[in-house]
Copies of this chain bind each other. A is one copy, B any other.
Amino acid sequence: MKKRGKQQGNPNPYRRMTMLNGYTLPRTPWHYAGNVLAVEYETDPKKASAFLPQGLSLLSGQCAVYFIEWQYAGDTGKDYLDPVCSQYRETILLLSAQYQDKPMAYCPFIWVDQDKALMRGLIQGWPKQMGETWITRSYDLPSKAAPGNGSGAMLGAALSVGGRRQAEAVVTLEMETASLPSPTFAGSALVRYFPNLVQGRHDCPAVHELVQLKSRDVKISPVWKGKASLTIHEHPYNELYDLKPVSVLSGYKFTVALTVDDLVHLCDFTLP
């Protein structure tokens, strides 16, 4: 995890260009592959609406929560050969929003378990915090220790934050389906924000803008769908409980691969 640091045009003879591979400057695209367990559900639309930033309005109370085991790599090397540096687990919550009549997922909460994933997300506008995600694995052998890969297989997932269980889900696979859970995370609207910390200027952020994630080369495995349960637990501080299910729709299991190397600006809230 190298940092910016060496700036172009700087005459300092000691500055090595190898310092430029900072994770904060993803000039190199990032490639991801992940195993996903997801649950679609309905939440209270009044409460969901309260989580939306300026520029977005709520399309419906339909949410999706994704539990994912990711592995990633940059363009030039086999980062995944040192897996402590290239694997992380993530829980993403998405709301059904719209921007100027265009449906667009919005992420009010997201948890990862690795700092590079946290940072790379934060500069894109994902409001990442640290949390622990656990997902049942299927194995390519019959065993009482694992669900199978097809109809009837049951898989669980859980999120803990700061030693408190926040959410847990169980999905029972029923059939293959042609459709992904909705809302989906490719193309999410995100808020990029960087505050001003000078006294008296805390209300004038240096960056405050609505952007849209751009993914490319998205590949999806066969998608399994089925019944699901989802519990969101009360928590003394965070508001995830406001987005608890009023009804659970479906569960999904699939694998996804994609590349991220661009963003679309939607609007800049720092302009007068």
A32: chain B residues at CB < 8 Å are 143, 145
Q: Which residue of B has the minimal Cβ distance to A258?
A: B143
Q: A195-B24, A195-B25, A197-B123 are in contact. Are A136 and B71 (CB under 8 A)?
A: yes
- Residues of B close to A87: CB separation below 8 A: 134, 137
Point out the residues of chain B lying under 8 angstroms from A122, CB to CB.
119, 122
B interface footprint on A122-143 (CB within 8 Å = 1, 0 otherwise): 1110010110101111011111
Q: Are B50 and A81 in contact (CB under 8 A)?
A: no
Bound CA–CA A124/B115 (angstroms): 17
Q: Given A31-B143, A145-B257, A257-B141, is A134 in contact with B50 using a C-beta cutoff of 8 Å?
A: no
By a CB distance below 8 angstroms, the chain B residues around A158 are: 82-84, 163
List residues 1-37 of chain A with CB under 8 A from any CB of chain B: 1-8, 10, 12, 14-16, 19, 24-27, 31-35
In angstroms, how far is the closest chain B Cβ from the Cβ of A98?
14
Residues on B with C-beta less than 8 A from A2 are 237-239
8 new A-B contacts, CB < 8 A, other than A71-B137, A143-B257, A160-B160, are A5-B51, A16-B50, A78-B154, A80-B136, A81-B156, A83-B158, A87-B134, A114-B130
Counting every copy of the chain, the complex holds: 4
Q: Which residue of B lies closest to A79 (CB)?
A: B145
Given A54-B10, A83-B156, A145-B72, does the pair A221, B24 have CB atoms closer than 8 Å? no
Is A193 part of the binding interface, using a Cβ–Cβ cutoff of 8 Å? yes
Residues of B within 8 A of A50 (CB): 6, 12, 14-16, 19
CB-based contact A170/B81 at 8 Å: yes
A232 sits at the interface (CB 8 A)? no
B206 x A83 contact (CB < 8 A):
no
Report the bound CA distance from A69 to B83 in whole Å.
13
Q: How far is the CB of A233 from chain B (nearest CB, A)?
A: 9
